[in-house]
Structure 1
Amino acid sequence: MKRIIALITLLLYFFIFVPALTAAPETQTAAPPEISGEAAYLIDVQSGQTLYSKNGDQPMAPASTTKIMTGLLGIELGNPEDIVTASETMLDYTTVYGTRIYLEPGEQLSLEDMLYALLLNSANDAAVAIAEHISGNTSAFVSLMNQRAADLGLKNTTFKNPSGLNEEGHLTTAHDLARIAQAAYANPVFRDYIKTKSHVIPRAKENVPIEMINENKLLWRDDTITGMKTGYTSVAQNCLVASASRDGRDVIGVILKSPGREIYTDMQALLDYGFEQFENTLYKGVGDSLGQLEIQGQPVNLLIDQALWITQKKDNTLPQPRINILPIDGELAEVAEGQVLTRLEVWEDEECLRVVPLAADRNIITEAAVEKKSYALFTGLGLMVSGVILYGAVQQRKHAERRRERAKLRQDRIQDPNRCQRR
């Protein structure tokens, strides 16, 4: 077993670290931009690596950038065709105030339109309506928000409400918000919402907002901006999360507690810095082998199901990530093609950036297993008639089980099956 792990680790060393050691000579690069906000963060989406940080781990109020998490959970746990009915909470002006679309109790909109109101117009009443629709009440929904943050490995984020309005203890960091934005950006439905400049929602009432206008000024100025979320409260001041895509690369920037409208020019400079001063290298593509082991004297390649990118600053000063290979459990006598045998973790300092499954590229079956398979087929034919008789009873049981599983599914759908191991 030790030889297997050693072999995988050795191969990964040559695949990932040797190219960095033989990179091109240092070149002249620009200094990082001056950011007026109290905190800022910039990441490369493909590699997950940090490109810039200013007070990245300082807890701060996020204002309406909170709605990135609210929108993501709404998309994941709801159906766009769901009908959302506004509750009496709309009349509680200690909970619902500030930017609104003036929902009234009993008013109904599709979840899709509520999400447009949330992510474009930044409507606080839509945030509450979505939370109550998904979880029954805002407290239960906020618990889901905090659980999702924990699942992402974020240690400095605590949500108190789904809108981002001022509330004691409602805090995150520029780093954590960048990771939340990265998780949301991975959802194609979320990306469709945040890149939308305007959307008209149908409403039965008159003299209420129906055209949702995206508040992200950068989206209207720069064609490479792909969206994200603005925010402002008296405590948080100006906040902005922005994503952009150029030449096959995507970056996400965060600026918190900026004193004024310079937040947009600062963000533009931050994004430009990420694109102009860094570049990505593809070390292994989808379906490539990242190692090999022997089973019954036959080679089995370990394949990845996602591209592995490494980001480097053009002057070669960005620290490279490190690799952690999880041990293979037990001795392997046989494997099936596509079977995940172990996982590769990519770490930046003490943060796990991603987990990549390593799967077998072929079947290795023992002779005993082949004999058992033939016997199972013969026996299966004999049991077929009995199976038909039992089918009706089994289906009834499954129907009852499905009802129980649906409640669990809501939580399971937001869990990442490939989370990094705790350190």
Structure 2
Amino acid sequence: MMVSVTSTAFAEDATLVKLPQVHGEGAYLIDVKSGQTLFMKNPDKPLAPASTTKIMTGLLAIERGNLNETVTASTTMLNNKLVYGTQIYLAPGEKLLLKDLLYALLLNSANDAAVDIAEYIGSDLPNFVDMMNQRALEIGATETHFQNPSGLTESGHVTTAHDLALIARVAYQNPVFAQYVRTKSQAISRSKADLPIQMVNENKLLWRDSAVDGIKTGYTAAAQNCLVASVTKDGRQLIGVILKSPGREIYTDMQDMFEYGFTQYKQTILKPTGSVISTAMVNNEPMNLIIDRPIYITTKLNEQSPTLDLRVIPTYTSALTSVEEGQVLANVEVLNKGTLLNTLPLKSSRSISAPTKQVKTHSYLPWVIGIIIMGIILPLFIWNKRYSDFQRCKQRRFTRRRESSN
């Protein structure tokens, strides 16, 4: 089922602001709550992501690993073709908690931590890279192809500004991931002395602007400067991506993109929490399907709100006979001109119990009763008949004796 919805109001007057002048070859700005695009530059151009690759590595570690589990570094740490550049100098056999390796990965951007995590989660590097690419496809990052977990330069290791924004948005919606990337510094536990223990976040905007709350930097000679950043202000969150920027102007360019997003766009609630989006039949009763969080729409100032399409996809495959209140029965996809912006669960608004099963006694009860009656009456009838016959026979014999005596 598809429904088109539009906010009826126009956005407020815009302050005259030019488009951001971004020096990087690719850039993207996305509104996290609505999923709508606010600005883009060469959004689908394949570019090397450098250490912003570690967003995906960290996300998979959090989704599939146990943060309190101990990870033992393998001899891969000695392979200087896989492990070089920024490191915390892990040695084969060294044991670290996964939660500490994630600080090394997402704050210090340690390449050896990326490899150690990949071998722990995926058992080996090729399998983990397959997991990275599969997760990218699930997110919708169809132009992304990873070759390693660290982002070190390798042929075919590419993404786009658009894809990286999608990956970052999904990653940041994981609260554990969000906590890591907003952390400025964190000490980790090491078993040996004279090894790095203080992990410091390389994202300069995190230190400069209190509204900035993540995410990840990156640099290689081939990729040049890369930055994915998040900012939250006045109840809105934006995520920006800049790839292949020639210098440190990447930070001011990102701030310009953020300023543009906040001053030139307004966010409103299209459908509040509890809105009925669709219905389902449960035990021949209509059941309202509601959302448990709002659907947002972002509108450029002085422009009419875009039309969003809502597509409902049931999660059940057979007729429903009972449901519990809050049970997910479908998902609603929010689309803008065919582009998927959001997917929200649709939940049942109340409980409906299954019909009570009644034992069908009418079909066989008369037979049971008949058999019981026959079992009682028939023997009595037979006994009575035999008794009557006996009495008649006895009477005839008595009569004959009397006649003979006379």
The alignment status of 1:115 with 2:98, answered yes or no, reads no
Matched, 1:183 2:174: no
CA distance in 2, matches of 1:215, 1:260: 15
1:370 is matched with 356
Whether the 8 Å contact between 2:8 and 2:305 is mirrored in structure 1 is: no
In the alignment, structure 1 residue 73 sits paired with structure 2 residue 52: no
- Is 1:51 the counterpart of 2:34 in the alignment? no
Q: 1:361 is matched with which residue?
A: 349
CA deviation map 1:183-239 (0-9, x unaligned): 110111111111111111122323221111100000000000001000000110000
The Cα shift of 1:79 comes to 1.1
Aligned to 1:106: 93
Pair 373,269 (structure 1): closer, same or farther in 2 beyond 3 Å = farther
**Cα distance between partner residues in 1 of 2:257 and 2:11:** 25
Please list every run of 5 or more consecutive structure 1 residues that lacks an aligned counterpart in the other structure. Answer: 376-423
Aligned residue in 1 for 2:382? none
- Structure 2 equivalent of residue 193 of structure 1: 180
SS at match of 1:275: helix
Contact 2:74 2:92 survives alignment (8 Å): yes
Gap change, CA 1:294 and 1:168, over 3 Å in 2: closer
Correspondence 1:146-295 to 2 at 5 A: 146-292=133-279
The AA in structure 2 aligned to 1:259 is: P
Does structure 2 conserve the Cα–Cα contact (< 8 Å) formed by 1:28 and 1:315?
no
Secondary structure, aligned partner of 1:251: strand
* Partner SS, residue 43 of structure 2: coil
Alpha-carbon distance in structure 2 between the residues aligned to 1:271 and 1:284:
25
**Residues 202, 328 of structure 1: alpha-carbon distance in 2 compared, 3 angstrom cutoff:** closer
C-alpha deviation, 1:142, in angstroms: 0.6
- Number of equivalenced pairs: 360
Conserved in 1, the CA contact under 8 Å of 2:87 and 2:113?
yes
Q: Runs in 1 of length 4+ with deviation above 6 angstroms?
A: 293-297, 327-331
Greater gyration radius = 2
CA contact (8 A) 1:312 1:320 kept: no
Question: In 2, distance between residues paired with 1:128 and 1:324?
Answer: 40
Is 2:336 the counterpart of 1:348?
A: yes
Measure the CA separation in 1 of the matches of 2:314 and 2:99. Answer: 44
User: Alignment partner for residue 294 of structure 2, among 295, 307, 312?
Assistant: 307
SS of the residue aligned with 1:121?
coil
- Please give the residue correspondences for 1:3-18 in structure 2 after superposition, counting only pairs within 5 Å: 13=4, 16-17=5-6
Higher mean C-alpha deviation, range 340-349 or range 186-195: 340-349
Letter in 1 for 2:239: I
Deviations 1:299-352 (A, max 9, x none): 532211222111111222674432223479789675524444433211133432
1:276: how far off? 1.8
What TM-score, normalized by structure 1, do the two folds share? 0.79
C-alpha separation in 2, matches of 1:149 and 1:272:
29
1:323 equivalent to 2:310? Answer yes
CA drift at 1:297: 8.3
Aligned AA for 1:311?
T
CA distance in 2, matches of 1:214, 1:23: 41
Structure number with higher helix proportion = 1
For residues 318 and 190 of structure 2, what CA distance do their matches in structure 1 show? 63
The one-letter code sitting in structure 2 at the alignment partner of 1:245 is T
State how far apart, in whole Å, the 2-side matches of 1:81 and 1:344 are.
Answer: 35
Amino acid at match of 1:345: E
Query: SS of the residue aligned with 2:333?
Result: strand
Shift of 1:31: 2.3
**Aligned residues of 1:334 and 1:363 also touching (Cα < 8 A):** no
Retained in 2: the 8 A contact 1:285–1:307?
yes
Unaligned runs of 5+ in 2: 362-406
